[in-house]
Structures are given as structure tokens and as C-alpha cells.
Amino acid sequence: MSTLSIKEKEIILESIRDIPDFPKPGIIFKDITTLLGNPKAFSTLMEHLTSRYLGYELDYIAGIDARGFIFGAVLADRLGIGFVPVRKKGKLPYTTVAEKYSLEYGFDEVEIHIDAFGENGLCHTGAPSKVLLIDDLIATGGTAKAAATLIDKVGAHCVEACFILELGFLNGKEGIKAPVYSVLEID
């Protein structure tokens, strides 16, 4: 299993811009657009993720709307497997399965196509499809928990949830049934 060196972690972390008071006062937003625009940092990250997940024998990568699409699609391409978008409710055109999750003031939902990971979630061998869930950041974890639940709900198996950045002080990974891997963690 691949691990990042201190220098590689610095390359990635230094490429993420802090935006104070966004989206509201007191919040420091972690802007990954600067990571995406930095070829050295992005390549370092994607080489690490490719190395880490090569031996997992995954069938699919599921990326959470919208930044998880970027990392997930690139990683799926590098691993030669399928990519599945986990979308916000109402964005997918075919029959879907949805999962609600709590927000600070209310609820939201994410959904996937019912056949996103094969019929009944089964891969070509008849076993549950092995899926890696990926997103850019985990904070409180509501969206990630809902997405991991969706994967299992359609008969596939979420083998791990991967995040580029974890805000550890928010304990967002608690309650995610799959193992969680964060490339970088901020406490």
C-alpha cells in the first residue's frame, strides 16, 4: 500500500488555498481548484491514489457530486474501471435509488442509478461489485455516509471511502460503515 512522503504531503497541502469566511463568517473554506490547476500537485496526488488502489481489484469508483467526479473519473481511468457519479437528487435521468442525510438546517438527498454497479449491484463474476467511494473533503460526513449507504443499498460493496482532505476535528468519518482513508488530515 502506497504512503505519501512528508514532501509529497506538503506539495499537495500547499496547493490547496484557504478562503476565510466562506461560505459564512468563521469558516475557512479549503479550495481545491488551486490543486487542480497545479500539475505537480495533481500528478503527485493521482499517482499516490493509483498506487494505493491498484491491488484492490475494484470494479468501480463512485465520486460524490461534484468535486468527487474529478478525482474519481481520473482514478477510474488510470485503473481501467468504471466511474459512477453520486448525484444530488433530480440530476440523473434513469431509475434511481436515493438516500437522505441531515444538514445543519434540514435534509438533502443523493442518488445513483439503480443499475450503476451492474444488475443488482453484481459484477461480471456474480459477486457484489467492489466500489471505492471518493470525494475531495470530508467534514461532518453526512453526504459520505449517505453515498456509502447507497452503494450497499443497490447490492454492491463499498470497500473504502477515500477523501483528499479530512477535517478531523469534525469527526465526519464516524458512522461510515466502510473503512476510511484520508490523504491529508487537518485537526
SS3 81: coil
- Tens digit of each residue's pLDDT (9 = 90 or more) over 82-126: 999 999 999 999 999 999 998 767 799 999 999 999 999 999 899
111 in a structural domain: yes
Question: Residue 95 sits in a domain of what CATH number?
Answer: 3.40.50.2020
Predicted confidence at residue 187, as pLDDT, reads 83
Predicted confidence at residue 1, as pLDDT, reads 55
Burial 76-104 (b: 16+ CB within 10 A, else e): bebbebbbbbbbeeeebeeebbbbebeee
Instruction: Residue 91: name the closest of 104, 67, 109 by CA.
Output: 109
> pLDDT grade, residue 131 (50/70/90)?
very high
Look up the domain containing 93 and give its range.
57-186
8 in a structural domain: no
96 in a structural domain: yes
Average pLDDT over the chain, rounded to whole? 95
> pLDDT grade, residue 48 (50/70/90)?
very high
- Tens digit of each residue's pLDDT (9 = 90 or more) over 154-171: 999 999 999 999 999 999
151 in a structural domain: yes
CA distance linking residue 40 with residue 35, whole number of Å: 9
H or E element: which one contains 45? helix 39-53
Q: To which residue does cell 447490492 refer? A: 155
110 in a structural domain: yes
CA distance linking residue 8 with residue 51, whole number of Å: 14
Instruction: Residue 38: name the closest of 5, 8, 68 by CA.
Output: 8
| CB contact set of 159 (below 8 Å; sequence gap of 6+) | 56, 58, 130, 131, 132, 178, 179
**What pTM, to 2 d.p., does this model score?**
0.95
C-alpha cell at 79: 485503473
38 in a structural domain: no
102 in a structural domain: yes
C-alpha cell at 138: 470530508
Q: In 10 A of CB 31, how many CB atoms? A: 14
Predicted confidence at residue 157, as pLDDT, reads 98
Residue 19 has pLDDT above 70, yes or no: yes
Provide the domain count of the chain. 1
